[in-house]
A and B are shown apart, each in its own frame.
Chain A
Amino acid sequence: DAGVTQSPTHLIKTRGQQVTLRCSPKSGHDTVSWYQQALGQGPQFIFQYYEEEERQRGNFPDRFSGHQFPNYSSELNVNALLLGDSALYLCASSLREEYNEQFFGPGTRLTVL
């Protein structure tokens, strides 16, 4: 049973570019949350997707957008990249009815130059 998978593992972009990160949830999970983790900090909630809709959003600008597909996988898009967007982006999946545990993926390390 595969856990949460994310791609790519690492990514290097330049300021102003756009990036798409991908996440496949753990088998059977229907809810995907995205977090941004800067170096030396705890993860910060970006948004959560359930039934292909964004259900709640953290304090992130509209440059951050997402999507969830019918198979529950999800994408995170970031436009007009800034140096401050450099971070580890974590995807977490869970089952909406059993929310006592979220499983995190290995993350995508994004570096903006």
Chain B
Amino acid sequence: GQNIDQPTEMTATEGAIVQINCTYQTSGFNGLFWYQQHAGEAPTFLSYNVLDGLEEKGRFSSFLSRSKGYSYLLLKELQMKDSASYLCAVRDRGGATNKLIFGTGTLLAVQP
């Protein structure tokens, strides 16, 4: 079966650091993606991990452990505009190279 779990909601303070966790159990694995989605808008790409380890991109970092089926997204120096839903998605190894299986998303609220 396909299962991706992430917390439903999180709250953090402006300027702080927040870590959003994602665990997955999928029949195939060909990379893990993080997307940011503001209310009523399209998801926008944040990061991609296919090998174990940490990928850093500015204020955002993403970590992957394939043996544990685990990833996290780390957001530093939080800003009010970071309030959004963060989607974890696994690319299936199936026939369509770009089929993504999404979690339900983590709604992050950044408070002053």
Give A contacts to B, CB under 8 Å: 4, 31, 33, 35, 40-45, 48, 55-56, 58, 90, 92, 94, 96, 99-107
Q: Assess the A42–B98 pair: CB atoms within 8 A.
A: no
Which residues of B line the A interface, CB within 8 A? 4, 31, 35, 41-45, 48, 87, 89, 91, 94-105
Interchain Cβ contacts within 8 Å, total number: 63
Residues of chain A with a CB closer than 8 A to B87's CB: 42-43
> Could you tell me the distance between the alpha carbons of A41 and B85 in the complex, rounded to whole angstroms?
10
> In the complex, what residues of A have CB within 8 A of residue B4's CB?
42
When distances are taken between beta carbons in the complex, the residues of chain A under 8 Å from B31 are: 100
Least distance between B12 CB and chain A CB atoms (Å):
20
Supposing A42-B87, A104-B42 touch, asked if A56 and B94 sit within 8 A by C-beta, the answer is yes
User: Do residues B95 and A56 form an inter-chain contact, with CB atoms below 8 A?
Assistant: yes
| Cα separation A13 to B61 with both chains bound (whole Å) | 42
B45 contacts A55, C-beta separation under 8 Å: no
Q: When A42-B87, A42-B105, A56-B95 are in contact, do A102 and B100 touch as well, CB less than 8 Å?
A: yes
- B45 touching A102, Cβ below 8 Å: yes
Query: Once bound together, how far apart are the Cα atoms of A43 and B95, in whole Å?
Result: 19
Residue pair B43, A99 in contact (C-beta under 8 Å): no
Contact A45 B104 (CB under 8 A): no
Q: How far is the CB of B66 from chain A (nearest CB, A)?
A: 17
**Extra pairs beyond A45-B101, A90-B42 (5, CB < 8 Å):** A33-B98, A42-B4, A43-B100, A55-B96, A104-B43
